[in-house]
């Protein structure tokens, strides 16, 4: 094909995709990347962090990004990678938990995990033959810490890891990680925090939470939090793929390394081998451009829009399942699947919850008040209110 024709064909396919700026994508945890991403993509298109000896500049950027995210999470000395996403990050953390358990002579690897955990943990369980004990949720839809404590008191020596969630996929809830940390320290248990979504939100709402009297701390300042998933390609505004896994320090690296005889380095720790550098470079650029103040503004705007949606819902007697903690609203509905399909026919794309009968809106930066107004009217029409 001629180039002109190839591009024409591509355009035709691309036109079938939804566009974030149209405001119809209401259920995604990704958004339109920061505009600098285009320039970065061009500069870093051919970089491959699977062989960092060939791309020491890009590798240097990755180390700086990990340091910057580490600082956001109260850790000056983190170790980690910018990888394909939250799924790979969670799998990577559980690789470490499994290796550590094996070194202690354990054959079965037992992990406590809340009902609210993302389905990526199911993939990890299957791949690594892990044993999960699902911890029920309390009335705030967070991990029931009393249940957790009772379970550990009963079977403490058998527990190899705890997964806690800082920003659940469905409702945006944050587990009581300060309390979980106390139990974990007492019994010397590894905590992995999945802050894939919340990692780029909670640190920028600290002031608001403090004023409102909440303690949503989830980071390395808490004992036994040894790894955290934080995805720049969600609320960090980075282009896909840019997931993040951070460990407390470099000592965790050895659990991940395998020999890599034909590369410029002798070992490789990431799950994916060949991996792009542009997500790393774009994350670096966006974090430098925005700084904490820039993120704070974006997160505040998303939260204001979240509260705005809840207010507009009340006008039509729609109920929010919880008072939003992050920029996610769950709208109670007796038949969410059916409603979401009807809404899809009307051009609105949002998803449903599993833990409660509800529709779910993730209030990402691409959604404006105008979009919210149009959506709420569509929902009212759909439900004949
Ligand atoms: C809390 C949480 N963890 C992990 C993931 C998986 O992330 P990814 O789709 O980037 O692999 C998601 C995705 O929405 C998530 O919400």
For residue 161, what pLDDT is reported?
Answer: 98
Instruction: Report whether 173 contacts 198 (CB < 8 A).
Output: no
CA distance 15 to 19: 9
DSSP 3-state assignment of 26? coil
| Rounded Cα–Cα distance for residues 104 and 99 (Å) | 9
Q: Quick one: pLDDT at residue 157?
A: 73
The residue to which tokens 């094996």 are assigned: 102
| Confidence band of 238 (pLDDT split at 50, 70, 90) | very high
Distances 165 to 143, 195, 289 between C-alpha atoms, Å: 8, 6, 28
Query: 117, 176, 169: which is closest to 144 by C-alpha?
Result: 176
The per-residue pLDDT of the chain, averaged, comes to 97
| 73-91: pLDDT as tens digits | 999 999 999 999 999 999 9
User: What mean pLDDT is predicted for residues 117-131?
Assistant: 98
Return the domain boundaries, the chain: 3-34+291-382, 36-287
Q: In b/e form, how buried is each residue of 15-26, taking b as 16+ CB within 10 angstroms?
A: eeeeebeebbbb
- What is the spatial distance between Cα 306 and Cα 369, in angstroms, rounded to a whole number? 10
Q: How far apart are CA 262 and CA 254, in angstroms?
A: 19
Q: Angle of helix 86-103 relative to helix 120-128, nearest 10 degrees? A: 40
Give the position, in ligand 1's atom list, of the atom nearest the Cα of 90. Answer: 4
Q: What does residue 121 show for φ and ψ, rounded to 5 degrees?
A: -70, -25
The SS3 call for residue 259 is strand
pLDDT at position 264: 86
Whether residue 180 is predicted with pLDDT greater than 90 in this model: the reply is yes
Domains 3-34+291-382 and 36-287 share a fold: no
CA dihedral 48, 49, 52, 54 (to 10 degrees): 10
Q: Name the burial class of residue 57, with classes exposed (0-12), middle (13-18) and buried (19+) by CB atoms within 10 angstroms of its CB.
A: exposed
Task: Give, rounded to a whole angstrom, the gap between the first and last alpha carbons of the chain.
Answer: 53
Distance between CA 62 and CA 282 in Å, rounded? 10
Distance, in Å, from the CA atom of 112 to the CA atom of 234, rounded to the nearest integer, reads 26
By three-state DSSP, how is residue 109 classified? coil
pLDDT at 282: 98
pLDDT in tens, 282-317: 999 999 999 999 999 999 999 999 999 999 999 999
With tokens 């943990």, the residue in question is: 121
- The alpha carbon torsion through 209, 215, 219, 223 (nearest 10 deg) reads 160
Is CATH 1.10.150.120 the classification given to domain 3-34+291-382? no
pLDDT band at 262 (very low <50, low <70, confident <90, very high): confident
Q: Which band of pLDDT confidence, cut at 50, 70 and 90, is reported for residue 155? A: confident
Residue to probe by mutation, ligand 1, list 197, 218, 232, most atoms within 8 Å of CB: 197
Q: How far is the CA of 346 from the centre of ligand 1 (A)?
A: 27
Could you report the per-residue pLDDT of 38-72, keeping only the tens digit for each? 999 999 999 999 999 999 999 999 999 999 999 99
Measure 86 CA to ligand 1 centroid, in angstroms.
Answer: 4
- pLDDT value of position 221: 98
* DSSP 8-state secondary structure symbol assigned to residue 307: H
Which residues does a 6 A CB cutoff place in the pocket of ligand 1? 29, 85-87, 90, 118, 120, 167, 169, 194, 196-197, 231, 243
**pLDDT at 357 (0 to 100):** 97
Residue 210 pLDDT > 80? yes
Question: Is the pLDDT at 332 greater than 90, yes or no?
Answer: yes
Q: Encode pLDDT of 156-174 as tens digits.
A: 679 999 999 999 999 999 9
Contact between residue 203 and residue 73 where contact means Cβ atoms under 8 Å apart:
yes
Instruction: Give the bridge partners for 21, in sequence order.
Output: none
Q: Is 1 exposed, middle or buried (0-12, 13-18, 19+ CB in 10 A)?
A: exposed
CA 227 to chain centre: 13
CA torsion sign for 266, 272, 274, 280 is negative
Give the pLDDT of residue 263. 84
Cis peptide before 241 (omega within 30 of 0): yes
CATH of 36-287, one of 3.40.50.360, 3.40.190.10, 3.40.50.920, 3.40.640.10: 3.40.640.10
Q: Which two tokens stand for residue 329?
A: 């609203």
Burial (CB count within 10 angstroms: exposed 0-12, middle 13-18, buried 19+), residue 188: exposed
Question: Quick one: pLDDT band at residue 107, thresholds 50, 70, 90?
Answer: very high
The answer to whether 112 touches 301, Cβ cutoff 8 Å, is no
Which mutation among 175, 196, 242, 328 tests ligand 1's pocket best, with the greatest number of atoms within 8 A of CB? 196
Per-residue pLDDT band for 375 (boundaries 50, 70, 90) equals very high
Instruction: Give CA–CA dist 250/240, Å, rounded.
Output: 26
Residue with tokens 């955990």: 117
C-alpha 162 – ligand 1 centre gap (Å):
18
């Amino acid at each position: 094909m001629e180039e002109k024709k190839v591009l024409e064909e591509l355009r035709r396919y691309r036109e079938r995709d939804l566009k974030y700026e149209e405001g119809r994508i209401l259920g995604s945890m990704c958004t339109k990347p920061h505009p600098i991403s285009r320039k970065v993509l061009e500069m870093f298109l051919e970089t491959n962090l699977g062989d960092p000896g060939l791309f020491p500049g890009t590798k240097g950027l990755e180390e700086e990004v990990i340091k910057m995210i580490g600082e956001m999470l109260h850790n000056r000395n983190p170790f980690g990678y910018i990888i394909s996403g939250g799924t790979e990050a969670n799998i990577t953390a559980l690789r470490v938990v499994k290796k550590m358990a094996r070194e202690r002579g354990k054959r079965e690897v037992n992990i406590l995990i809340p009902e609210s955990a993302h389905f990526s943990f199911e993939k990890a369980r299957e791949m690594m033959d892990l044993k999960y004990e699902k911890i029920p949720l309390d009335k705030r839809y967070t991990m029931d810490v009393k249940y957790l404590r009772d379970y550990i008191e009963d079977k403490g020596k058998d527990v190899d890891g705890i997964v806690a969630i800082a920003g659940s996929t469905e409702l945006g809830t944050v587990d009581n990680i300060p309390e979980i940390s106390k139990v974990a320290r007492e019994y010397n248990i590894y905590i992995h925090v999945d802050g894939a979504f919340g990692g780029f939100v909670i640190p920028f709402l600290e002031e608001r939470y403090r004023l409102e009297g909440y303690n949503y701390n989830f980071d390395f300042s808490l004992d036994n939090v040894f790894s955290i998933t934080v995805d720049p390609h969600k609320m960090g505004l980075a282009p896909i793929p840019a997931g993040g896994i951070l460990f407390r320090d470099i000592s965790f690296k050895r659990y991940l390394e395998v020999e890599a005889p034909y590369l410029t380095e002798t070992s490789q720790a990431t799950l994916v081998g060949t991996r792009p550098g542009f997500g790393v470079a774009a994350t670096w650029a966006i974090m430098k451009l925005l700084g904490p103040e820039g993120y704070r503004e974006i997160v505040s705007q998303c939260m204001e829009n979240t509260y705005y949606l809840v207010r507009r819902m009340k006008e039509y007697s729609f109920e929010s399942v919880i008072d939003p903690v992050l920029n996610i609203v769950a709208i109670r509905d007796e038949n969410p699947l059916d409603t979401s399909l009807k809404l899809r026919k009307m051009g609105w794309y949002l998803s449903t919850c599993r833990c409660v009968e509800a529709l779910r809106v993730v209030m990402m930066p691409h959604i404006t008040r105008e979009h919210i107004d149009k959506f709420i009217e569509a929902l009212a029409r759909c439900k004949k209110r």
